[in-house]
Amino acid sequence: MENTIVEIRKRSGTVATFNKEKISSAIFKALAATSDADRGLADQLADKVVDRLVEQGFTTSRVPSVENIQDIVEYTLIDSGNSDIAKAYIVYRHERRKLRDEKMKVINAKSLDATSKKFDLNCLRVLASRYLMRNGKNEITETPTEMFERVAILVGIGDMLYDANLFVKSGNHTQDIEEARTYLEKLDNFNYKFKIGDYFLNKWHFRSLINHYIMLASKGQMKVSFKKLLTMLAGKQLDNYADKIDEYLEMMTSQEFLPNSPTMMNAGGRLGQLSACFVLGMPDDMEKIMKSTSDAALIFKSGGGVGINYSDLRQEGDIVASTSGVASGPVSFMNIINTVTEVVKQGGKRRGANMGIIEVWHPDVEKFITNKTEPGVLENFNVSVGVWEDFWHSLVNTKDGKYMLRSPRDKKPVKEVNAHQLIDLIALSAWKSAEPGLIFFDQINKYNVFAKARQSQLRATNPCGEQSLYPYESCNLGSINLANLVKRKADGEYEFDWQRYEETIRKTTRFLDNIIDVNNYPVEEINVASKESRRIGLGVMGVADLLYKLRIPYNSKEGYDLQSKLSEALTYYSMEESVALAKSRDEFPLCSKTEYPEGKIPVAGYYEKPKESHSFEWDALIEKIKKYGIRNVLTTTVAPTGTLSMIADCSNGMEPAFALVFEKRVTVGRFFYTNKIVEEVLKENGLYTDEILAKIADNYGSLKGIPEIPEWMQRIFVTAMDIHWSDHLVAQAVWQDWIGNAIAKTINMPYDVTAEDVKSAYLLAHELGLKGITVYRDGSRHKQVLHMTSENAEKTFEVCPSNYVTTYVTTSITNPYIKSQVNSALELRVHDEKIQPEPQRQEVAEDRLCPTCKNNLVFVEGCSICIECGYSGCTSG
């Protein structure tokens, strides 16, 4: 019978194009639940459904509803003798209705928009808890699609003002900037008055348009007056930029790329502050200290986090000449910022995060190291010790390890210490409480092309340590979901789509560059410094899930080789796109004062990896930079993606999976969350049962050592706890070789490592060229077992370093002290009769619970996150 049905009425009342494939797909899912999935049978039954619809009088003029079609599917299945399939379909339909109702409740909507239908319930919970706009009654007032649209529109405005009809790079035009500025006084009049294609600009978009125009016009780069720009906008002469908005919207709603949290919270909103990372100075001057404190409050209020190096503050007990008083020391000033953080809630969403740094030469360094080993101290801070070449030399090249602590005031010697004892103290503290981290300032500044322009070294990072910045610089981060950049081959196996990866890197580099222009910075000095360097941080997430899809073990040579190539491609293509932007838009203002014109680049791998191992033509790129300049001083950073990866439905950053199965105890019993890729594999192999899931959850979420699980699955589907800590370091190093900034990564260690092992991890990290290290020993952090995947969890397996690690240690480490320490730590421990005690499972302290939903926090990427609601102790993700 001829199919004369062309439309369908959806639940929302809107009419859409009829698609028989959707009926076939729903029947296929019901078939899969009862027997072997049979696509041919599903298609035949779908044909019968269409015939029945036509028989019942549904035509072009009488449009069937979704409910009509579903009723007829049930009838057809029963009538054709497929009662089992009919039953499965009815259950499937009921579950879909239940899920739909739950989703609508979560986002406070009467129907589901396209994004809500596509995103799973957990993704929507995270969006609802932190990102969707709310009214004065705290009710959600926008859909997920509208949220992504307000971000995409703002980014599109960034592109639009560089249109050839508006912009000229040479900068020889004069416009009336004050005329443009008057529009800032009447934003309400222009709320939803202009549009690009079908996308309306709200008043906050309009504000960014004005400010972006003023910035370019002040450099003489605007060919037209502001009124002429608005006339062109009204006359639809710039409607082609709707295509760019479509492109940015599609990247986000397809879960291929997400910008850092403040961008999604604030783009197209009143705050309009889009950056995650800021660094402030802390000079030894009371007026400037108070200025930094005030600036920090404004940053927290706008949704950002702050890194501060406190090393310029004189040590506790030093004489203050102006008052004849005694200095209270850096830690006391950290407490002031800690309190400010507590009081100022970020954009009404969450408390801010801080990085507090003291350099290893500071007389108060020992007090600083041990400060956070007790609970309740500096709770809004991550703390790190900054290390320079002189300390490292004393540690690894001298027998006595003598090292001088110096006065911040005049650099005069204050006290001699032993470098070995100092690193032991740091290692012991980190063993106890996961803090402090170490920041290797010598490595950070090794290829710092910007030092020449700033006439100083980098001395501070953002709260999670992956982004080094000068005072008042900010950085906009974003992450590409690598797990989604795959294509299926004819045999059903996945392969990575390198072409799509390149296209995505280019689009997202442009996206982040635009963010710099349309950002509403909280402090004028930040506005100036951010635009002088135009630093961006493009990174990745979903690495572990990608490797699962490709069936490659994370901690194997094949795994490391792929990660190396992914990292190299990320920086190469983003820098190449940055050069293209410099050609059309201009290089960053301080470019000519850096080492770029001399042919230097901030990429260690270019200098330290053999030329024949490079995958790209770096020398040709360097020549382009020398000729055209580059738009952004640095382009890549691998940031924490705690909540972003929950929205993108993928694994965190470049971390291995935290657990493959973990339990959620509910009143009716145990409920298991399972990694989706692993769930599929378990089902394909007939292993998806509650008994197996319980075994995995009780095995720290790992497949290792479970007899029912085939060896090949145990080898491929590894978790953070299956991977030796030395391999965690190698993975970080593989990415660090090619990443311009640094990497947010947690070096996971089992509970039974020693403080000596932690020290060896520091030595190996520095040797591998890392810029910083955060160690997390399971069971540290005030004796709470944060890595618990089940109340019954017990690890039944040992982990060993990979051959990759042992070969590296044997062949590449030449320093005798480092080699002996690392060799000693990597020796397989033979357990005697003395069984290592398990850490006691105590009640979880209040400070280890999520402040939003009171569920357990887990520690990943150097940051506490909640796997229930998406709360993150870091600001970027």
Say which DSSP state 636 is in.
B
CA distance 251 to 255: 6
Q: Tell how strand 257-259 and strand 474-481 pair up.
A: antiparallel
Selection from 110, 118, 150 nearest residue 253 by Cα: 118
- Would residue 464 show up in a list of annotated catalytic residues for this protein? yes
347-360: b (≥16 Cβ within 10 Å) or e: bebbbbbbbbbbbb
Residue at token pair 């203050």? 320
User: What CA–CA distances, in Å, run from 40 to 24, 46, 47, 304?
Assistant: 9, 10, 11, 54
CA distance 266 to 767: 41
- Would residue 466 show up in a list of annotated catalytic residues for this protein? yes
β-partners of residue 475 are 277
Answer for the pair 616, 569: CB distance below 8 angstroms, yes or no: yes
Residue 144 preceded by cis peptide, ω within 30 = no
Q: 442 CB contacts (<8 Å, ≥6 apart)?
A: 387, 388, 389, 392
Answer for the pair 86, 71: CB distance below 8 angstroms, yes or no: no
Selection from 104, 134, 146 nearest residue 252 by Cα: 146
Q: How many other C-beta atoms lie within 10 A of the C-beta of residue 770?
A: 24
Selection from 652, 698, 654, 649 nearest residue 677 by Cα: 649
Residue at token pair 């960053």? 588
Answer for the pair 526, 474: CB distance below 8 angstroms, yes or no: yes
Tokens representing residue 486 in the block: 């795959």
- For the chain, the maximum distance between any two Cα atoms, rounded to a whole number of angstroms, is 99
Selection from 549, 558, 552 nearest residue 492 by Cα: 549
User: From the candidates 211, 354, 380, 462, which is the catalytic residue?
Assistant: 462
CA distance 376 to 389: 33
CA distance 362 to 368: 10
**Residue 847 — φ and ψ, nearest 5°?**
-75, -5
Say which DSSP state 743 is in.
B
CA distance 634 to 51: 61
Tokens representing residue 586 in the block: 């201009």
**Residue 743 — φ and ψ, nearest 5°?**
-125, 135
Residue 789's SS3 state is coil
CA distance 392 to 410: 22
SS3 content of the chain, % helix, strand, coil (to 5): 45, 15, 40
Q: Tell how strand 857-860 and strand 772-777 pair up.
A: unpaired
Answer for the pair 458, 448: CB distance below 8 angstroms, yes or no: yes
Answer for the pair 732, 745: CB distance below 8 angstroms, yes or no: yes
User: From the candidates 142, 256, 435, 466, which is the catalytic residue?
Assistant: 466
Residue 316's SS3 state is coil
Residue 837 preceded by cis peptide, ω within 30 = no
Residue 368's SS3 state is helix
Residue 719's SS3 state is strand
User: From the candidates 464, 475, 591, 866, which is the catalytic residue?
Assistant: 464
- Would residue 856 show up in a list of annotated catalytic residues for this protein? no
**Residue 10 — φ and ψ, nearest 5°?**
-80, 170
**Residues forming the active site:** 462, 464, 466
